[in-house]
Amino acid sequence: MAKSNPLYRERWGYGFDLTTDHLSTEEISKLRAQYDSLGSEVLGILQKIVANKDPAANGAPKADLYSVLRDNYQDNEVLSKFWDELHVTPEWVDWAQIERGQKFFGRYALGNATAFALQGFVRENSASPGIAEVFARTGGFAVRNLLSRVIETFTWVVHVTTSLESIQPGGEGHTSTIRVRLLHASVRQRITRLVESRPQYFDIKKHGSPVNDLDSMHAIALFCCMPMWDSLPKMGVYPTKQEITDFIALFRYISYLTGTPTSYWTTPKKAKAVMETMFLHELDPTNTSKILAYNFITWLSNAPPVYLSRDFLEAGCRWMNGHEMSDALGMGRPNLIYYLVFQGHNVVVFTLAYLQRFIPAFDRFMININRKLLYAAVTDHRHLVGGAGLFDFKFVPQLDRKFGKDSGEIDAQGHSRWWRPVEAVFLMALMIAGLVGCIMVAFVFKFALKLHIKE
Ligand code: HEM
């Protein structure tokens, strides 16, 4: 990869060489024009079943559509086809590989969580115009709604990575993913119907249908490619070839379950090219992006139990996404000290990752403990997401409602906003790393001096 190569491209501080695996503009347009039509057809049938059973409900989106599907698929040809597709394992699925891929999330839990928040939510969801416009209409980026949105998404990630049984047909992660697919079909249906009565409500010509194939691939790349080639390397961690191949295989299966094209995830090389294509063509921050990014950081600042400061979060965003993107998203410019604190965070992520790589027993311990903690955390918060991970449609789009910039911060529930224990730990980690570095340099220097005197 050399800048002098005519195929070299750089976007938002990330450089790469174009290959035949990168998507052409024609392919991008084609994918933007397509969506999960089977999922949409199934949604329509399920809504009719609900309406026939309870005419007062009139296909209300609050019904648990997964249960309706499970109880009725045998009586309808389209539902049977859908159900069979989801429950017959494709021949390319290797369960041992999927199980290895699932461990990746728990193994690098801290790094993955940072990547998910500071790159996934701030950059990919906010700065991709089509995705951002959908989120702005469904209210998930209004400060008051962010807690449930983030917990629900996190719950889903935990479900699909917690154990092999969970992602296999009938498991918790498997059913959660089917619910998410039906939820996306509801989002698409609702926005498309509003466009029928007021075309300017959502620009389908420009952005394609809501949750189209291109946007869904972008979301898959966010989950499985960015940690590999962008987020974790920025924290000093380089996943192994095996980890990359296995995690992408897991998300190929998730693409299959969510009705997203699967042919782009057959090899790490192809998957990486999808991510880079998104950088090149799909990240283009708008005013809506600024609002979403601002609301997300506002929500996360001072939130219990970690009480991270806005300055720390903005320094983290700048480190993870670069100054060009952060300026385009309207991020503040914090003092140098906050960049150092974020480097302390990176020291913790890096140290844990490499200790785990060299001590397999410690790796197993960390994966188990992180899985248990994360599972308990999302289970404890079920009441906040309105049920046991049913992923219902919470903020049904309305013609007169598009969420804007929020000023409110999350209630710190009586805890001090000035005591930042987590940031103090990160700073301490950086100081210890600095001290260890100085001792090692002094040791090497002393050794070299001794050799020199002997000679
Ligand atoms: C295929 C990859 C995707 C995955 C794995 C995924 C995952 C999820 C999950 C777990 C939820 C439930 C949590 C929540 O309510 O926030 C969700 C909801 C949602 N997703 Fe996605 N998503 C994907 C693609 C997309 C895309 C491309 C868009 C927009 C263009 C989108 C828009 C939404 C919206 C608007 C909701 C929330 C609806 C509501 O709760 O009111 N998703 N998604």
Beta strand 14-17 with 8-11: parallel, antiparallel or unpaired? antiparallel
Least confident window among 288-292, 403-407, 411-415:
411-415
Q: What's the DSSP call for residue 89?
A: P
Please check whether residue 50 is in contact with residue 59, taking contact to mean a CB–CB distance below 8 angstroms.
Answer: yes
Q: What is the pLDDT of residue 53?
A: 82
Q: What's the DSSP call for residue 9?
A: E
- Cβ 210 under 6 angstroms from ligand 1: yes
* Sole residue written with tokens 């392919």: 27
Could you identify the atom of ligand 1 that is nearest to the CA of residue 130?
Answer: 30
245 CA distance to ligand 1 centroid (A)? 24
- Cβ 265 under 6 angstroms from ligand 1: no
Q: Is the pLDDT of residue 150 over 90?
A: no
Q: What is the pLDDT of residue 56?
A: 66
Structure tokens, 199: 């075309």
324 CA distance to ligand 1 centroid (A)? 27
- Cβ 257 under 6 angstroms from ligand 1: no
Q: What is the pLDDT of residue 408?
A: 55
134 CA distance to ligand 1 centroid (A)? 10
Indicate the residue type of 371.
Answer: R
223 CA distance to ligand 1 centroid (A)? 12
Mean pLDDT of 329-340: 94
442 vs 262, more confident:
262
385-to-151, 152, 179, 193, 396 alpha-carbon distances in Å: 7, 6, 14, 26, 15
199 vs 74, more confident:
74
Average pLDDT over the chain, rounded to whole?
88
Could you identify the atom of ligand 1 that is nearest to the CA of residue 215?
Answer: 27
Note the residue count of the chain: 455
pLDDT digits (tens, 9 = 90+) for 278-291: 999 999 998 888 88
Among 200, 230, 203, 22, CA closest to 124: 230
- Cβ 155 under 6 angstroms from ligand 1: no
pLDDT digits (tens, 9 = 90+) for 10-49: 999 999 999 999 999 999 999 999 999 999 999 999 999 9
Partnered with residue 35 across adjacent β-strands are 212
pTM of the model: 0.90
- Mutation choice for ligand 1 from 184, 390, 394, CB with most ligand atoms inside 8 A: 184
For residue 140, the SS3 value is coil
Partnered with residue 14 across adjacent β-strands are 11
Q: Is the pLDDT of residue 438 over 70?
A: yes
Q: What is the pLDDT of residue 409?
A: 52
Residue 109 to residue 103: CA distance in whole angstroms: 10
For residue 35, the SS3 value is strand
Write the residue with the smallest CA distance to atom 17 of ligand 1. Answer: 180
Structure tokens, 177: 């993913």
344 CA distance to ligand 1 centroid (A)? 32
Q: What are phi and psi of 10, to 5 degrees?
A: -135, 130
448 CA distance to ligand 1 centroid (A)? 58
- Cβ 258 under 6 angstroms from ligand 1: yes
19 CA distance to ligand 1 centroid (A)? 30
The CB density around residue 285, as the number of other CB atoms within 10 Å, is 23
Q: What is the pLDDT of residue 235?
A: 97
380 CA distance to ligand 1 centroid (A)? 22
Please check whether residue 401 is in contact with residue 145, taking contact to mean a CB–CB distance below 8 angstroms.
Answer: no
- Cβ 134 under 6 angstroms from ligand 1: yes
Q: Is the pLDDT of residue 151 over 90?
A: no
194 CA distance to ligand 1 centroid (A)? 19
- The H or E element containing residue 296 is helix 287-300
Q: What residue segments make up the domains of the chain, in order of their start?
A: 19-335+372-385
- Cβ 185 under 6 angstroms from ligand 1: no
- Mutation choice for ligand 1 from 194, 211, 214, CB with most ligand atoms inside 8 A: 211
- To the nearest 10 degrees (0 to 180), the angle between helices 95-107 and 241-258 is 110
Residue 317 to residue 333: CA distance in whole angstroms: 10
- Cβ 260 under 6 angstroms from ligand 1: yes
Q: Is the pLDDT of residue 405 over 80?
A: no
Write the residue with the smallest CA distance to atom 9 of ligand 1. Answer: 153
Q: Is the pLDDT of residue 138 over 90?
A: no
450 CA distance to ligand 1 centroid (A)? 63
Write the residue with the smallest CA distance to atom 20 of ligand 1. Answer: 184
Structure tokens, 377: 């955390």
What is the torsional sign of CA 106, 108, 111, 116?
negative
Structure tokens, 168: 């296999």
HSE, CB side, 13 Å, CA atoms: give it for residue 23: 25
